[in-house]
Chains A and B, each alone.
Chain A
Amino acid sequence: MSGDRVGIIGIGQSAFRARRDDANYPELVREAVVMAMADAKMDFDAIQAVVYSLSPDAMIGIGNAERLGVDAVGGRSKPFLRINTGGATGISSAAAAYYHVASGMYDVVLTAGADKVGECGDSQSVLNKIWDPSYERPLPLGTINMLAMSGLRYMDQFGMTQEDMAYVTVKNRRHAALNPNAHLRKVVTIDDVMDSRIISWPIKLLDCCPQSTGGAALVMASEKYIKDNHLDAVWITGVAHAAETYWMGDRMGNNPTAEHSGAHALARSFEKSYRMAGIKDPAKQVHVAELYAPFSNTEFHAIDSAKLVAKPGDSIRPLLDGEFELGGRIPVNPSGGTLCTNAIAVTAMARVAETALQVWGRAGAHQVKGAKLGIASGNGGDHQIFGTMVIEA
């Protein structure tokens, strides 16, 4: 193995909740950072650069809140930059931290952030503002109805039913019940989901992620630093991003490049990550997956895009058969995933953190037995900017 890999040496995650009235925004960031530093068994002096994970300002109601974060991450006199790719922000920040180390410029880099979505009076009102003011803002667009329309097209093309969607929630809640950091941990039934009120048809309340509050942090280091200091680590062996058109209406109609039922650029991003990691057959080589899926239906196209099945639409049957549950062929979102916890600025960092914990064998009650190779993803923008990682023991 070459000596220039990048390892994750410290992980911090809040116990995510709807609100945290005991902590203001920078205190929440610091909480995750302190946990990650303790996990890495190092102090702030060892950190050479910081990548700050923060999605739309309006979600926490503080303009350019990375300024407040500088103190929380011990950023004084250090290189510091903010990353924002919407829902993908956390994995994009992890990727940027990776690049800092992989470039050879720094040996130890911290990435951290937090979100307080539960303090936002109406996150869909904020998210409506991500649409362009020329054509689409006058429509009541939000992330729920955007992905409801993706689900509708997935139903039309692959026969997904509302009960199939409900089962994704049932599965992920079972997983979240085992994860003390998850926000929604109550086990539910298909009937509970089907009987919950319609938000944006076909998406019902229990098909939706919550508005979560909490922080996350990762410490990364060069292989040389890790070996010289006799540290324990897991390794990022694949990292990639891909974007696609902003225009949702261009992902339908005549011969679209990217089809809105799926996640075209997520598949492109995974192809690149797999190539970098030397993975030829992900369905056979991947042991665990933490795939960003904030609404139940979107887990199907995430599994399709990660090529854990042969082709789009093939994820439905095996998911219902338990292949993607703890104990199944490739557990997907054993933490409960974004569907059970969504602190937007760090939700994709939690995917990286959870994948790292799994291949490290430190995931606790939701550990996938024997997992040595895992994948993580994050989706941001108007279902548009996708980050992926392969992490190995």
Chain B
Amino acid sequence: MELLGRQEVWNITYDHALGETASTFYTLIRDEAAIYGRRIAGSNKVMVPPRSFSDETLEPTGEWVKVGPGGRIEAFTMVYEAFKNLPPPPYAFGYVLLDGADTALGGFFKGIDLTDPEAAAAKLKIGTRVVATFAAERKGEMMDFWFELEG
């Protein structure tokens, strides 16, 4: 028998409130071209990205601490497949432990030739030093910065 189908598209717009902590984080990126984390009272650990409370102590976090711009790669991947509503491949992104931070921050890696995946993977290996680099014109969002190899 003839089996029929019908196509549906979901396209929903949300205006998310970021809250005080993330708003401060992005405002500092926009105005100072610098990344800040929040110190966990008691443990001295600096959370980046900053959160208003610690999942370990379950207490509010305290002072703002400037971290980076240098850091080390903790994880990366290079995406070669196109996915709907995601950037065109190839691209590299992952997580970096910025100097002075205790947790890793996500971001894109730029300035790496991704033509040869194995060669690119060797350049991005865990422990590699990178530096957070800021756009000249910043809007106060994640895309205002990315990571490049140090030196």
Q: Which residues of A contact B (CB under 8 A)?
A: 21-22, 58, 61, 121-122, 124-125, 128, 133-136, 138-142, 145, 148-149, 152-153, 156, 197-203, 245-250, 252-257, 260
* B75 partner residues in chain A, CB cutoff 8 A: 149, 152-153, 248, 252, 260
Interface membership of B151, Cβ < 8 A? no
B86 to chain A, nearest CB (A): 4
**Chain A contacts for B86, CB-based, 8 A:** 124-125, 128, 140, 142
If A142-B83, A149-B77 touch, whether A252 touches B95 (CB-CB below 8 Å) is yes
A135 to B126, CA, bound (A): 22
**Chain B residues near A152 (CB, 8 Å)?**
75-77, 126
With A21-B5, A122-B84, A133-B16 known as contacts, the answer to whether A200 contacts B77 (CB < 8 A) is yes
Q: Which listed residue (A21, A125, A253, A255) contacts B104, Cβ 8 A?
A: A253
Q: Which residues 123-141 of B have a CB within 8 angstroms of A?
A: 125-126, 141
B93–A58 touching, CB < 8 Å: no
Q: A153-B75, A245-B55 are in contact. Are A134 and B81 (CB under 8 A)?
A: no
Distance to closest chain B CB from A68 (angstroms): 15
Q: In the complex, are the beta carbons of B95 and A140 less than 8 A apart?
A: no
Given the complex, which residues of A lie within 8 Å of B56, measured CB to CB? 257
Q: List 11 A-B contacts (CB under 8 A).
A: A128-B83, A138-B141, A138-B143, A148-B77, A149-B95, A245-B55, A248-B75, A253-B101, A253-B103, A254-B102, A256-B103
CA separation between A31 and B124, bound complex, in Å?
A: 49
With A254-B97, A254-B102 as contacts: A135 and B76 at CB distance below 8 Å? no
Are A140 and B80 in touch, CB under 8 angstroms?
A: no
Distance between A93 CB and nearest chain B CB, rounded to angstroms: 25
Q: Which residues of A contact B77 (CB under 8 A)?
A: 145, 148-149, 152, 200-201, 203
Query: Which of B1-47 touch A at CB < 8 Å?
Result: 3, 5, 8, 10, 14, 16, 18-19, 22, 25, 45, 47
Whether A134 pairs with B16 at a CB distance below 8 angstroms is yes
> Which residues of the other chain, B, contact A141 by a CB distance below 8 angstroms?
106
B94-131 near A? 1/0 per residue, CB < 8 Å: 11010001111111100000000100010001100000
- Assuming the contacts A122-B85, A201-B121, A257-B56, asked whether A138 and B80 have C-beta atoms less than 8 A apart, the reply is no
Q: With a CB–CB cut-off of 8 A, which chain B residues contact A252?
A: 74-75, 95, 97, 103-104
Bound-state CA distance A246–B107 (Å) is 17
Does A249 contact B81, Cβ atoms closer than 8 Å?
Answer: no
